Amino acid sequence: MKLTIAEFKQDYIAQIKSSTARQINETTALERYTALGEMVKEYIGNLWANTNSTYRTEQVKQIYYFSMEFLTGKFMENNLNYLGIYEIVKDGLRSLDIDIDDILEVEVDQGLGNGGLGRLAAGFLDAMSSISIPGHGCGIRYKNGLFEQRIIDGYQVEFPDRWLVNNNVWEYKRNNKAVIVKYNGHVETHMDGERLKFELVNYDAVRAVPYDTPILGFENNTVNTLRLWSAEEIDDIFDFENFSKGNYLSAFEKKHSVEIITQILYPNDAYDEGKLLRLKQEYFFVSAGIQSIFNTYKKMNVGINRFAEFVAIHINDTHPALAIPELMRILLDEEEMTWEEAWKITTQCISYTNHTIMAEALEKWPLYMLRDLLPRITMIIEEIERRFTEDLINVYHITDPNHLSAMHIIYDGMVRMAHLSIIGSHSINGVAKLHTEILKNKELKVFYDIYPERFNNKTNGIMHRHWLLNANPGLTKLIGDTIGDGFKKNPRVLRDLLKYRDDKSFLDDLFEIKHQNKENLAKYIKDKQGIVVDPYAIFDMQAKRIHEYKRQHLNILHVMHLYRQLKENPNLDIPPRVFVFAGKSAPSYYVAKQIIKLINTVGSVINNDKSIKDKLKVVFLPNYGVSLASHMIPAADVSEQISTASKEASGTGNMKFMMNGAVTLATLDGANVEIMNEVGESNIILFGLKVEEVYDYYQNGHYNAYEIYNNSPDLKAVIDELVNGYLPVPKDEFIPIADRLLRFNDEFFILKDFESYRLAQERIAEIYRDKYQWSKMSLANIACSGAFSADYTIERYATSIWNVQKKLLDFKL
């Protein structure tokens, strides 16, 4: 947009006065931030209104991306960049004696997600807007985001994330768009002429109120909507009669029991959280979202039978799978369609992404629970199941009872949401090539056999503008000065950087930028953790949720091994190294929390040992989230992507690190395989078991962790240190970890992969000695990272799943 510094200053001073009733020099950073937010919101508001009215009047197909999680992080810097006014605002503020960074600091992360799946959803919204796809998000406005992690005495301790205390300047509450969601009750049937009608009676009603956040596209006038639902008591009043009688607490009971639905985000990312409240949440936003899609659709007046031409609904994993029976319910009970018509529309509208093959993360609900909470929805699921089984027998000629039971939706008293999602949609995609192959040939093979045309791959992508423009301005400037700014809209252009592979002065610049980022992070680590790290050391990072399959303990066991080597020979000639860890554990995941304690314990021993001459440091940075990632990733030399092959569906952190010039230390898992294909084998460090080998071990049962332990003195020594009193903790502290590795035979092959990991780390140390060789690898990673932009991923969803056209908007602000 067009804005001069003078116009900005005038607007801003007026805004400060009207929103704070104070002189600018008397205001706090928060007031300055809020005032700027209000202003930016007004700029965006014009574009938003224009986008919506164009979509409506020109009757364009809309995409609705349903997700239980949206990890959007902060908005201000991005919105300023996307409007093209960041520099103007920065300069305008400076002339008012205000540092823009102090304002940006104040914003809190909108952390409504656990990890990869939630961040992916946020990135997809950004990409849909930025490549002009009419696509919106639908989710839950949790009052508390993912818990705040603090480390106390080496342990993770959880604190509530009250992100709304200072209000959220970006959202609009839309009372007039509220809808009712119905739970419990029972279904009554009666004949209405020829038609059997179903009616839910004696239900509990909850008001779902939407809060809309504008999602701005990059310099293209498009503003789509993220609609998050909040639960309110139907009249939003407490029981006044009860209150007047002096029953103060019980007067608020009903209100609380309703509001609790949107109070918390379940802090779990790999174990099925089978709780009634979670089920209520899932139905809550799905029902509200679908009702509101109908309300919008009806305004177009094109007839309900054309619904699938204008609406696509995407479900991000199975958490919103109740969209299938909910859509059926509305089409059958309210729109009075036949089952066949309704089913056709439903399957044409719905598409589903699978993000995991881990059995324990596949959602299942007890049938009795579902029936109690959602009687009509359960009837519909049972009818879907009945017809599906009929098809299996009559159309696909499957009669073997074992084969049939592998495919049922309802089995053993449980409702399998993945099966419902596959049966009720026209597209099922995995999130990396390898993952999709595993789905087709292993985990979901029975479904692939009957519906091969439904399965497809859509490799994940990241918000490249965030991870470069916002997170790494130094690198962004160097790239822009070297190859121009085309990469902002078309990140594949980054490949032009490959021309500078042998240009020493360019490699020097690249090294210098990385070094500056490392200096900045070193300062951050000193300020926050009191640990001094050498910015000339190799910065080796593992930042992601803590989980045994992601194998942070493989990393820390290797650090323990390096430390032993240095203790034996303090003059050992190795480049200094800093191992940085960050990530949250699910609060109920005991072993993962012990891994955090182990990292911190090892860190406290190593960081305080003068004898090793600062050659090794271990840092655990608390409270990993979008903001911390944005500080860390630009400073990384090595990106640890070391999951047990087959377990990580894709990974997206791997892409962010790569884009910022880190070299990946990887197993051939998830999208690491595609990263290798982009950069070439000489620019990635590989190690470890391959998927087939992992599956072989699982199948033939020949893996023996004890055997490896007994035959590898180096490895045995560090595992023994977990339990022999060497570490400054009670002797039994780390027994659970040691037990998982030995007594329970090391499900994730830490022992098996240790030697190969150790050798890979040796290679890294060797290569790093040669600054130019290292910087060349780093350059290759940056140059080849463009392929992993979410813009391209969304392009592929749009053409091959959603069948939606771009809508370019021409509008002058």
Which residues are known to be catalytic?
Answer: 355, 544-545, 550, 652, 656
Q: Which long-range contacts (CB under 8 A, 24 or more apart) does 507-512 make?
A: 507/771, 507/772, 507/775, 507/776, 507/779, 508/775, 509/478, 510/475, 510/478, 510/661, 510/775, 510/778, 510/779, 510/782, 511/771, 511/775
The one among 651, 661, 688, 786 contacting ligand 26Y by CB under 6 A: 651
The one among 100, 321, 361, 462 contacting ligand 26Y by CB under 6 A: 361
C-alpha dihedral over 308, 313, 318, 319, to 10 degrees?
A: -130
- DSSP strand pairing (195-201 vs 186-192): antiparallel
The one among 171, 212, 232, 269 contacting ligand 26Y by CB under 6 A: 269
**Comparing C-alpha atoms, which of 185, 346, 59 is closest to residue 337?**
346
| 292 vs 652 by CB, closer to ligand 26Y | 652
- Considering only the stretches 111-119, 256-264, 280-288, 511-519, report the one whose residues sit in contact with ligand 26Y under the rule CB under 6 A: 111-119
| 77 vs 669 by CB, closer to ligand 26Y | 669
Helix boundaries (H) for 247-338: 248-251, 253-259, 276-298, 307-310, 323-329
Our CA angle for 727, 154, 73, nearest 5°, is 145
The one among 648, 678, 746, 753 contacting ligand 26Y by CB under 6 A: 648
- Considering only the stretches 157-165, 268-276, 377-385, 659-667, report the one whose residues sit in contact with ligand 26Y under the rule CB under 6 A: 268-276
CA 549, CA 645: separation in Å to the nearest integer? 9
CA 69, CA 318: separation in Å to the nearest integer? 12
Count Cβ atoms within 10 A of the Cβ of residue 153 and give its class: 0-12 exposed, 13-18 middle, 19 or more buried: exposed
| 451 vs 549 by CB, closer to ligand 26Y | 549
Helix H or strand E encompassing 207: strand 204-216
| 168 vs 356 by CB, closer to ligand 26Y | 356
62 binds ligand 26Y (CB under 6 A): no
268 binds ligand 26Y (CB under 6 A): yes
C-alpha dihedral over 316, 321, 324, 329, to 10 degrees?
A: -130
67 binds ligand 26Y (CB under 6 A): no
- Considering only the stretches 179-187, 355-363, 477-485, 596-604, report the one whose residues sit in contact with ligand 26Y under the rule CB under 6 A: 355-363
- Considering only the stretches 101-109, 205-213, 262-270, 793-801, report the one whose residues sit in contact with ligand 26Y under the rule CB under 6 A: 262-270
Size of the site for ligand 26Y (CB under 6 A): 24
Whether the CB-CB separation of 780 and 679 falls below 8 Å is answered with yes
114 binds ligand 26Y (CB under 6 A): yes
431 binds ligand 26Y (CB under 6 A): yes
Alpha-carbon distances of 358 from 110, 423, 668, 707, rounded to whole Å:
28, 20, 17, 27
Question: x/- contact string, 303-342, with ligand 26Y (CB under 6 A)?
Answer: ----------------------------------------
For residue 410, the SS3 value is: strand
The one among 136, 355, 553, 593 contacting ligand 26Y by CB under 6 A: 355
Q: For 485, which DSSP code?
A: G
The one among 111, 116, 135, 267 contacting ligand 26Y by CB under 6 A: 116
CA 684, CA 672: separation in Å to the nearest integer? 9
The one among 470, 652, 672, 789 contacting ligand 26Y by CB under 6 A: 652
- Considering only the stretches 142-150, 511-519, 552-560, 646-654, report the one whose residues sit in contact with ligand 26Y under the rule CB under 6 A: 646-654
Report in angstroms how near the CB of residue 673 gets to ligand 26Y at its nearest.
13
| Strands laid side by side in the 414-416 sheet | 364-366, 414-416, 410-411
125 binds ligand 26Y (CB under 6 A): no
Report in angstroms how near the CB of residue 158 gets to ligand 26Y at its nearest.
16
Return all residues near 770 (Cβ < 8 A) that are at least 6 apart. none
Count Cβ atoms within 10 A of the Cβ of residue 238 and give its class: 0-12 exposed, 13-18 middle, 19 or more buried: middle
Report in angstroms how near the CB of residue 362 gets to ligand 26Y at its nearest.
8
Return all residues near 331 (Cβ < 8 A) that are at least 6 apart. 304, 307, 337, 341, 342, 345, 346
CA 130, CA 212: separation in Å to the nearest integer? 18
The one among 351, 356, 542, 646 contacting ligand 26Y by CB under 6 A: 356
- The residue to which tokens 């116009």 are assigned: 7
The one among 117, 357, 566, 612 contacting ligand 26Y by CB under 6 A: 117
| 27 vs 789 by CB, closer to ligand 26Y | 789
Report in angstroms how near the CB of residue 552 gets to ligand 26Y at its nearest.
14
For residue 54, the SS3 value is: helix
Question: x/- contact string, 162-201, with ligand 26Y (CB under 6 A)?
Answer: ----------------------------------------
CA 560, CA 582: separation in Å to the nearest integer? 18
| 583 vs 670 by CB, closer to ligand 26Y | 670
Find the residue with minimal CB distance to ligand 26Y. 116
- Considering only the stretches 112-120, 203-211, 521-529, 778-786, report the one whose residues sit in contact with ligand 26Y under the rule CB under 6 A: 112-120
104 binds ligand 26Y (CB under 6 A): no
Whether the CB-CB separation of 271 and 361 falls below 8 Å is answered with yes
670 binds ligand 26Y (CB under 6 A): yes
Report in angstroms how near the CB of residue 565 gets to ligand 26Y at its nearest.
33
Q: For 545, which DSSP code?
A: -
The one among 89, 93, 103, 120 contacting ligand 26Y by CB under 6 A: 120
- The residue to which tokens 């027998």 are assigned: 393
| 54 vs 660 by CB, closer to ligand 26Y | 660
| 270 vs 324 by CB, closer to ligand 26Y | 270
For residue 163, the SS3 value is: coil
Residues that bind ligand 26Y (CB under 6 A): 114-117, 120, 266, 268-273, 355-356, 361, 363, 431, 460, 648-652, 670
